[in-house]
């Protein structure tokens, strides 16, 4: 009987692995398995995923809370979040009951953790990860008296490209730009999709001069790129603008730094686009 339970539990886990956030069919399958094959599906499922023992009633309550957490995560992130992502986030971050999670499908677990912090389109870190990482970088810089810089990058006139070439072409462009961003920075740097056609890069232990050099190189690289049907863009090429803010000179807190980088980004656009700007405070 135990072997039979493990088999169907793995079937459910495999289904959860295909869950991209549209979970209606997944949940129907979970409920169907529960009705047909066992009176302990929830406890078996949670034990299989996170190696935690609960009675069936307790496990069912946790499962319902996971589904509520999924809705909350989806609302905060502005996109659908899969059940498996919500379940792991629930037990690791909210309940904090997992010390050394034991997962039957280790590859699935690693993919699940990665999907919780990465953008589904570009593969860059997502907005949630960026916010957490920026908090950590501010605290680290304060503790050790260090500097770091933040780049805020936006694709110039992206609406023109998207509206003319279509949303699929627009997505392809964002993916290609993401590749260029990753090539331009170090492994220690955190490159994220902030939202839409806007990106951020956190540059640890990097002062303004170095950050401006990196941002300028990114602008030049993208402007020199050859993207599909870029002739529809002003000047016949795809370009980006960037705002460069540095801690602590441009902001002693996360909010101040973000505000400065955002203002500098739009200053770069106002000055003609296709450039990086980094003077937040008038001399």
Q: Distance from first CA to last CA of the chain, Å, rounded? A: 76
Across 98-256, where does the E strand assignment appear? Answer: 148-155, 190-195, 198-204, 240-247
Q: Catalytic pick from 31, 105, 110, 197?
A: 197
In order along its 283 residues, the chain shows pLDDT tens digits of 444 444 445 555 555 555 555 556 656 666 666 666 556 677 777 776 666 778 888 888 888 888 888 888 777 766 677 777 777 778 777 766 655 554 434 455 555 556 667 888 998 999 988 998 999 999 999 999 999 999 999 999 999 999 999 999 999 999 999 999 999 999 889 999 999 999 999 999 999 999 999 999 999 999 999 999 999 999 999 999 999 999 999 999 999 999 999 999 999 999 999 999 998 765 4
Reply yes or no on whether 197 is catalytic: yes
Domain 127-277 has CATH 3.30.70.270: yes
Task: Report the alpha-carbon distance of residue 158 to residue 129 in Å, rounded.
Answer: 24
Look up the pTM and report it: 0.64
The CATH 3.30.70.270 portion of the chain extends over 127-277
């Amino acid at each position: 009987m135990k072997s039979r339970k493990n088999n169907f539990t793995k079937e459910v886990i495999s289904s959860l692995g295909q869950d991209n956030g549209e979970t209606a069919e997944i949940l129907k399958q979970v409920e169907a398995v529960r009705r047909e094959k066992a009176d302990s599906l929830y406890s078996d499922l949670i034990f299989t995923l996170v190696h935690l023992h609960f009675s069936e009633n307790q496990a069912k309550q946790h499962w319902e809370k996971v589904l509520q957490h999924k809705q909350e995560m989806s609302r905060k992130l502005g996109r659908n979040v899969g059940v498996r992502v919500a379940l792991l986030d629930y037990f690791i971050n909210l309940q904090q009951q997992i010390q050394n999670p034991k997962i039957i499908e280790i590859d699935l677990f690693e993919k699940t953790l990665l999907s919780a912090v990465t953008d589904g389109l570009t593969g860059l870190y997502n907005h949630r990860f960026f916010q957490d990482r920026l908090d950590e970088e501010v605290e680290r810089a304060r503790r050790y008296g260090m500097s770091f810089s933040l780049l805020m990058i936006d694709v110039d006139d992206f609406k023109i490209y998207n509206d003319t070439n279509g949303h699929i072409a627009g997505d392809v462009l964002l993916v290609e730009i993401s590749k260029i961003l990753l090539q331009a920075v170090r492994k220690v740097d955190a490159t994220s999709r902030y939202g839409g056609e806007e990106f951020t890069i956190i540059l640890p232990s990097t002062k303004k001069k170095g950050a401006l050099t990196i941002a300028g190189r990114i602008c030049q690289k993208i402007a020199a790129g050859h993207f599909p049907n870029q002739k529809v863009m002003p000047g016949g090429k795809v370009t980006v603008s960037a705002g460069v803010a540095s801690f602590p000179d441009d902001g002693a807190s996360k909010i101040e730094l973000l505000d400065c980088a955002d203002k500098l980004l739009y200053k770069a656009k106002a000055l003609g686009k296709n450039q990086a700007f980094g003077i937040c405070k008038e001399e």
